[in-house]
Amino acid sequence: MRCSYIRLLVNDYVASFRFYRDVMKLPVLWGSEITRYAEFDVYSPTRLALNEREVMAEALGTIEKDAALPGQDRVSVIFEVDDVDHSAAELVAAGAPQVSPPKDWSAWGIRAAHFRDPDGYLLEINRPLVPET
């Protein structure tokens, strides 16, 4: 078994589509602002997909259930970058809401920064820490 997609079920599809295309600058592999479903290239075998939450709820027959996310994050999408500080500065300049600035998470072996997309999903950009020799 391999992970082929990370699919985010979003409330504001257009804002999320624009965020991943224009702010995160991910190439669109399929879909547009009006398709209610899109796939993005995240430069790995795994793809990031957006699906309008209502479309999936209709498909699964759960449209009457509460669609709100709980208070704690339930998913985080991780992007590895060459330079966390530079990438974080670019995201901030492009309007991405920053949750935590770049810092070393030595227990995790990474330098990372965290952001939110328009639907509140947690995004992490990171780079492995280089061990001191």
Give 82 or 55, the one with higher predicted confidence.
Answer: 82
Same domain (yes/no): 49, 82: no
Regarding whether 83 and 57 lie in a shared domain, the answer is: no
Q: In this predicted structure, what is the pLDDT of residue 53?
A: 81
- The count of domains in the chain is 2
- Residues 49, 95, single domain; the answer is no
Q: Is residue 109 part of a domain?
A: yes
d(CA 38, CA 29): 7
Q: Quickly count: other Cβ atoms within 10 Å of residue 115's Cβ.
A: 22
Q: What pTM value is reported for the model?
A: 0.76
Asked if residue 68 belongs to a domain, the reply is no
Which amino acid makes up residue 18?
R
Residue type, 8: L
pLDDT score of 84: 96
56 token code pair: 């999936």
Query: In this predicted structure, what is the pLDDT of residue 1?
Result: 59
- CA–CA separation, 94 and 103 (whole Å): 20
**Cβ proximity of 46 and 4 under 8 Å:** yes
Report which of 56, 66, 65, 52 is spatially closest to residue 15, judged by C-alpha positions.
52
Is a pLDDT exceeding 80 seen at residue 19?
yes
User: How confident is the model at residue 62, as a pLDDT?
Assistant: 74
Instruction: Output DSSP code: residue 31.
Output: -
Q: What is the pLDDT of residues 63-121, one digit of tens each?
A: 776 655 545 567 889 899 999 999 999 999 999 999 999 999 887 889 999 999 998 88
Helical spans, DSSP H, in the chain: 13-18, 53-60, 84-94
2: domain range? 1-63
| 133/84 same-domain check | yes
Q: Is there a single domain that holds both residue 54 and residue 89?
A: no
Write the CATH number for 43. Answer: 3.10.180.10
Mean pLDDT to the nearest integer, 21-26: 97
Looking at every residue in the chain, the average pLDDT score rounds to 87
